[in-house]
């Protein structure tokens, strides 16, 4: 699709026990410093996005014989962090400027077990239906969304000052 790009990131790997507390500390420090670094033009669009995506998600899951997934505020918050980062950086990515990958962000947000992340960038009016359809048309994203191991999800978006809308979805059990 023109003007739209997608990536997906799945799965987990084990980190040392000390990594989670260190990551949590870094997240709190980054959260405080990020308040001033998002800059003008980064507009959070997240309000109610997960609830808006619920019908699309569960219609796709039902059509494929998979149990419904429930919205999760913690997963939406993790998705919002990544959407905001991508909007502030002006690029779609699974890592942050400090090199934090999905697994370290998952652990910092206390998301246990298997989890996956879908990200996308879209130019124009934000439309969760279009994003959900785009993810379902991509084999890796579709696999994440239809994985029966993931029973909860959160979706968020943020826009930059050029009108690009950055989307993130985090799925977990």
> Which has the closest alpha carbon to 10: 101, 131, 125, 132?
101
- pLDDT value for 9: 52
- pLDDT value for 72: 93
What angle is formed at CA 26 by the lines to CA 14 and CA 30, rounded to 5 degrees? 130
d(CA 135, CA 129): 10
**Torsion of Cα atoms, 159 then 133 then 125 then 168, to 10°:** -10
Q: Is the pTM of this model over 0.85?
A: no
> Which has the closest alpha carbon to 38: 75, 90, 76, 95?
90
pLDDT in tens for each of the 173 residues of the chain? 334 444 455 543 333 443 333 333 333 222 222 222 344 445 555 667 899 899 999 999 999 999 999 999 989 988 988 888 888 877 666 666 666 677 777 777 778 888 999 999 887 777 889 999 999 999 999 999 999 999 999 999 999 888 889 999 999 99
Tokens of 123: 């130019």
């Amino acid at each position: 699709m023109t003007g739209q790009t997608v990536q997906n990131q799945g799965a987990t790997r084990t980190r040392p026990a000390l990594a989670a507390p260190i990551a949590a500390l870094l997240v709190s420090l980054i959260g405080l410093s990020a308040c001033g670094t998002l800059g003008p033009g980064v507009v959070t669009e997240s309000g109610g996005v997960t609830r808006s995506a619920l019908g699309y998600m569960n219609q796709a899951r039902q059509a494929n014989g998979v149990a419904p997934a429930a919205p999760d505020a913690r997963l939406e918050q993790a998705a919002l962090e990544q959407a905001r980062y991508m909007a502030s950086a002006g690029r779609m990515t699974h890592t942050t400027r400090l090199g934090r990958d999905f697994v370290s962000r998952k652990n910092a947000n206390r998301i246990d077990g298997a989890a996956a992340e879908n990200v996308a960038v879209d130019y124009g009016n934000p439309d969760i239906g279009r994003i959900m359809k785009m993810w379902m048309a991509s084999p890796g994203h579709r696999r994440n969304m239809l994985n029966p191991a993931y029973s909860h999800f959160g979706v968020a978006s943020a826009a930059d000052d050029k009108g690009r809308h950055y989307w993130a979805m985090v799925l977990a059990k």
